[in-house]
Amino acid sequence: MPPSPLSDTETPEDCISITGSTATSASAEAIRADEQYCRQLEDRALLSGPNRRLRDLQLLWSVAKDFMAGFRALHFVGPCITVFGSARFAEDHPYYKMAQAMGAAISKMGFTVMTGGGPGIMEAANRGAKDVKGRSVGCNIRLPFEQSHNPYLDRWVTIEHFFVRKTLLIKYSYGFIIMPGGFGTMDEMFEALTLIQTGKLRGFPIVIMGQDFWPEMRQFMDHMLKGATISPEDLDLIKWTDSVDEAVAHLKEKAVKQFGLRRARVPHSSPWLGEKALEDTL
């Protein structure tokens, strides 16, 4: 028999029975500390387990607001290529310079450069787009510590929930550049690969750059292939390279040519609805 949800009058102290065993009841001080922690970010409250019904409705509304803000900000930016990578690389780092060159190349192809909107690799790719007067957008995330958007964005939106942000970064893109990064970059890369593998997303190209950073990851993917947990075709869309020219050729073959992308795919905006095409704000 499934457990019943918390009623609006129940508190954590009222619910301490777990499958016939008795759990240790948290102290009032610990409960207050947990509530204070969850109040700092909506994501924390959403992921913290059962809430009162009204609180869950509030959290659902905050998710809907995130999606609507993202849709309104990004609907008219045109076909994008998203660049993923670490926020921790300074502008004198070789990976920063590689991402900047890649951002410029993406813009010259006619795509809008999309990133997570923060510093490091994200800033470099957006900066590269602006170097060649291309379109540059970002989907930033609200964190417990300060992370403001970088200064090379024509348009940006700040999102509360990580999973909403990840959806938006994928939704408007026709290819993905994976630069060196940490847990977040891994999450974004494997999310895109999983969506393609399961048919939730069309087979858009993925370019993984910074080869000195990735040898173990590449070996592990080969290990998964040998173990039959993935199929050969799952890796067909991945291009491993440090060459911007090779990356561009792969994007042209697997995105532009395959899907016949044209600049005309940008939807028409309606001034009556307060909508603005990206060009109207440049």
Q: Are the C-beta atoms of residues 26 and 12 closer than 8 Å to each other?
A: yes
- Residue 253 inside a domain? The answer is yes
Phi, psi (deg, nearest 5) at residue 127: -65, -40
pLDDT, tens digit, for every residue of 73-83?
A: 999 998 999 99
- Residue 236 inside a domain? The answer is yes
pLDDT at residue 282, rounded to an integer: 54
What's the rounded mean pLDDT across residues 129-148?
88
CATH number of the domain encompassing residue 237: 3.40.50.450
- Residue 37 inside a domain? The answer is no
- Residue 9 inside a domain? The answer is no
Question: Residue 3, Cβ neighbours under 10 Å: how many?
Answer: 10
- Residue 171 inside a domain? The answer is yes
pTM metric for this prediction: 0.82
- Residue 54 inside a domain? The answer is no
pLDDT, tens digit, for every residue of 10-21?
A: 454 444 444 555
- Identify the weakest region by mean pLDDT among 68-82, 88-102, 123-137, 261-275: 261-275
Q: Are the C-beta atoms of residues 87 and 126 closer than 8 Å to each other?
A: no
pLDDT above 70 coverage of the chain, percent: 79
Most confident of the ranges 8-17, 94-103, 143-152: 94-103
Considering only residues 29 and 50, tell me which one the structure prediction assigns the higher pLDDT: 50
pLDDT above 90 coverage of the chain, percent: 61
Q: Are the C-beta atoms of residues 121 and 95 closer than 8 Å to each other?
A: yes
Domain count, the chain: 1
Rounded to whole angstroms, the Cα distance separating 61 from 80 reads 28
pLDDT at residue 13, rounded to an integer: 46
- Residue 245 inside a domain? The answer is yes
What residue numbers bound the domain in which 113 lies?
Answer: 67-263+271-281
Rounded to whole angstroms, the Cα distance separating 203 from 131 reads 30
pLDDT for residue 142 is more than 60: yes
Phi, psi (deg, nearest 5) at residue 186: -60, -45
Considering only residues 139 and 277, tell me which one the structure prediction assigns the higher pLDDT: 139
Rounded to whole angstroms, the Cα distance separating 228 from 250 reads 26
Rounded to whole angstroms, the Cα distance separating 100 from 122 reads 9
Under the banding of pLDDT at 50, 70 and 90, the label for residue 27 is confident
- Residue 188 inside a domain? The answer is yes
What's the rounded mean pLDDT across residues 236-246?
94
What's the rounded mean pLDDT across residues 264-281?
67
What's the rounded mean pLDDT across residues 44-66?
88
